[in-house]
Structures are given as C-alpha cells and as structure tokens.
Amino acid sequence: MSIEAILKERHSVRAFIDKPVPIETLKNIFSSAQLSPSNCNVQPWQTCVVSGQTKEQLQSKFIEILMSGAVPNPDFNWAAQYAGIHRERQFGSANALYSSVAIAREDKKARQMAMVRNWQFFDAPHAIFFTMDKYLDIMGAVDLGIYAQTLSLIMAEHGISNCMQGALGQFPDPVRKILNLPDERGILFGMSFGYADESAAVNKTRTDRETLDNAVAFFS
C-alpha cells in the first residue's frame, strides 16, 4: 500500500477487537520506526509499550486518579488554550467524535464518560507511552511527533489502527512509578493501538482538513 493510500484511509480509531498483535509483528513495526529521522540523530524517544497486566494496572490507577478528582499535571506544557481558527477546528473534531456516538453537545456527563475512555485505552490490547528526557523539551517533542507518525504509518501497513493520545501524558506520575522510569524522564503523550472494531460507531468518526490554499504558501 502506498503512503498516499494509507494517508487517505487512516483515521483515529477508538474501539478495538480483543486480539493482541503478535510479538513478531510488534518487533517488526518498532524496528522499522527506529529509522525515523531526528534532530542531529539524537533519537530521543524512549518508547514504552504496555500490554496485559501492566496495561491493566495502569488503567486501574488512572481510573482511581480520575475518581479522586485529581488535576492533570503533565510533564510538558500541554496547557495551550486554542484560540480563533484553532479553537474552531478543535470544536469541529470534538463534534465529529461525539456525533458519531450520538452524544449531544449539552450532555456533559456523556462527554466526560467518553473522555474517560482515553484512560481505559479504548479497550485496545496495547498502548504506548512516548517518553524522553525532560530537558529535551521542544527539541525532543518535534522528534517524538515525527517518530509517532512514522509508527502510525507502519502500523497501518500491517492492518493495525491507533489513536494518539495527549490524554496519556496528563497524569505522568503513576506511569513513571509503574514503569519504573527515572524522575528525569518525561511522558509526552501516548497511543492506544490494535485491530479496529469495524462495527463500532465511534470508528465512523471522520474529520476534515483545511484547503491547500489556506495551509500552504508556495513562494518562487
């Protein structure tokens, strides 16, 4: 499948079937993603793939934290309040998601419950925490973003779907503890992945994109 064809078909998936990805496939995918470029080839990603009991332990801890009413304390600056056109697009993607599962705009409770699905990894068999040394800040974040998209495209080639999740970077402390990561390691964001549940309404969510003219300027 060409990259262009993958890009045209790819979309975030938020419901998965109960079928783990074979370990050999996982190793192939993550080996290929090692070929991602990075600034000065520093390869800042320290990727943590969680499955089975470790994933369940993290999920339980996340739910406990959410129930306690804890406020997110991300390692990196995720506090940006979108404004103007960015806010409009943010609303657009939220509406696409909630209307796919027939949640009304004013139904705050249902929206919150849908949000909680993030920390249940959308029932995916596997999840990733993209981590890097905290001091790397924006330099590392650029590289991790490129790495994550590379990973996503390779996954698609293997018929594996995913959803990238800023939500998985919101409560980094229990992740650091359960995965035994050093204090200097930051959790930037995450991704749930596996085989898509094609029958799930949430996976019918589609978002649009800006026109080329409004996004790209060609200078000559």
Ligand X SMILES: Cc1cc2nc3c(=O)[nH]c(=O)nc-3n(C[C@H](O)[C@H](O)[C@H](O)COP(=O)(O)O)c2cc1C
> Which residues bind to ligand X, rule: CB under 6 A?
11-12, 14, 93, 118, 163-167, 189, 207
Terminal-residue alpha carbon distance, the chain: 33
Cβ-contact 164, 189 below 8 angstroms: yes
Q: Which residues, in sequence order, are bridge partners of residue 163?
A: 192
> From the CB of 127, what's the least distance to ligand X, in Å?
12
Residue nearer to ligand X on the CB measure, 26 or 192: 192
In whole angstroms, the minimum distance from the beta carbon of 14 to ligand X comes to 6
Nearer to ligand X, 53 or 209 (CB): 209
| Three-state secondary structure call for residue 218 | coil
Q: Which is nearer to ligand X, 32 or 120 (CB)?
A: 120
Could you tell me the two tokens for 40? 């000065």
Task: Confirm if 55 and 200 have CB atoms less than 8 A apart.
Answer: no
Closest to ligand X by CB, 152 vs 185, is 152
Report the nearest approach of ligand X to the CB of residue 24 (Å): 27
Per the listing, tokens 């925490």 go with: 129
What minimum distance in Å lies between the beta carbon of 196 and ligand X?
A: 12
Handedness of CA 4, 17, 123, 98 (dihedral sign): positive
